[in-house]
Amino acid sequence: MGQEYSVVSDDTPTETLRERSLSAVAEYIKSGKARRIVVLTGAGLSTAAGIPDFRSPETGLYANLAKLNLPRPESVFELDFFRQNPKPFYVLAKDLYPGNFQPTISHVFIRLLADKGLLHQLFTQNIDCLERAAGIPGEVIVEAHGSFADQRCIECKTRFPADLIRDYVSRAEVPRCIRGEECNGLVKPDIVFFGEALPSSFFDRKDLVSTADLVLVMGTSLQVHPFASLPNLAPETVPRVLFNMERVGSLGSQADDVLELGDCDAGIRKLADELGWRDDLEAKWREIIGDKEASRQMSGAKKRVETLLDEVDRLAEEVDEALHLQDREESEAAPRLTNGNPGETSDKTEEGERKYEQKEEETQSKAEVALDPDALPTSPKKPSL
């Protein structure tokens, strides 16, 4: 079990920001006080591109891998299993390989930070290379879990040509070392498998988080260490902003933490609006991916929100039904008087009412997050390119 963090109360004063809001974050950036912005990203950043995240119960990558009859879904990223049976990995690689997907609006927002000289460092858990496709300079990217950008033999470490690996991946075939019979080792992209060390660049640059003026955390569950510890390296007075479907890690436990819970791209658009960058952001995004792909991603975002709303409605109905059933069972039971006075109710009934009110409040809170109209992407004006 990881450490549990409590959320700061509403009356806790901020130390750096005017208030805990995206408006205050934008004000802080525009003031020139945030000149070294560190960005931490995970799989949620790429879901709008069509790439599944890892852990969603029905649509996540691990759920989709069940059809490959692996010992367990994670086996596809285990080196020992790869040595015995590399085929499942290359079946997966065919679908995930760079070029099959296009950057999201969130990727391009990070590109804008770089263009404006504000991006101090980007740490990503993603292996899809969409940061590079968005035009973010390679020198400010740390691909903490590796990527498809390079590949080599797992035995002699000889690099394998990029044009050849693309042919193998497109056919879901397993390549062998380019040295032929002299080695004949399996070739694997430079993706960090379970049990392998993270790239040296991660450890060389992780301390840059401690020199940041602002930390943006986007679309990550923060469940995998040592990446999950990065937000905690920032000084407590440095604002940290979370764009994610739910609160994760220690985010929300410090005075200047801002939680933007919901669709990642929708949250980034709201920040761009506050910064006055929205038109430039939309124009650059469409310039990179084209109008057709932009429309597809926008449509997908609306479907994700609709799915979330349906889930909230279903949970609300289940809670309501269960609690009303409990009330009926209690009312049908023989009256239990307290101190023999007919005007008093039993402790059990009062407890049931308190639980009912508590559950209703929790359900309403979830619904308010999901129903936030600002979380729904709006169709932008078509830019003149």
**CA–CA separation, 31 and 28 (whole Å):** 5
* Residue 328 burial (CB count, 10 A): 10
**Packing angle between helix 22-30 and helix 264-275, nearest 10 degrees?**
50
Cβ–Cβ under 8 Å, residues 217 and 242: yes
**107 annotated active-site:** no
Contacts of 376 (CB under 8 A, 6+ apart): 266, 301, 302, 305
Q: Which of 107, 145, 225, 324 is catalytic?
A: 145
Would you say 128 and 100 are in contact if contact means Cβ atoms under 8 Å apart? no
The whole-angstrom separation of Cα 103 and Cα 121 is: 18
Give the per-residue SS3 of 200-230. Answer: HHHHHHHHHHHHCCEEEEECCCCCCCCHHHH
Count of residues for the chain? 385
CA 42 to chain centre: 4
φ, ψ dihedrals at 260, nearest 5° = -110, 90
| Angstrom distance (rounded) from CA 127 to CA 156 | 23
Nearest to 104 by CA among 218, 202, 230, 210: 218
Encoded tokens for 158: 């000889």
Q: How far is CA 155 from CA 93, 103, 163, 172, 174, in A?
A: 20, 33, 21, 21, 15
CB-CB contact of 49 with 103 (8 Å): yes
- Candidates 65, 42, 77; CA nearest to 195 is 77
| Tokens at 77, concatenated | 């990223």
Q: Which residues are known catalytic residues?
A: 145
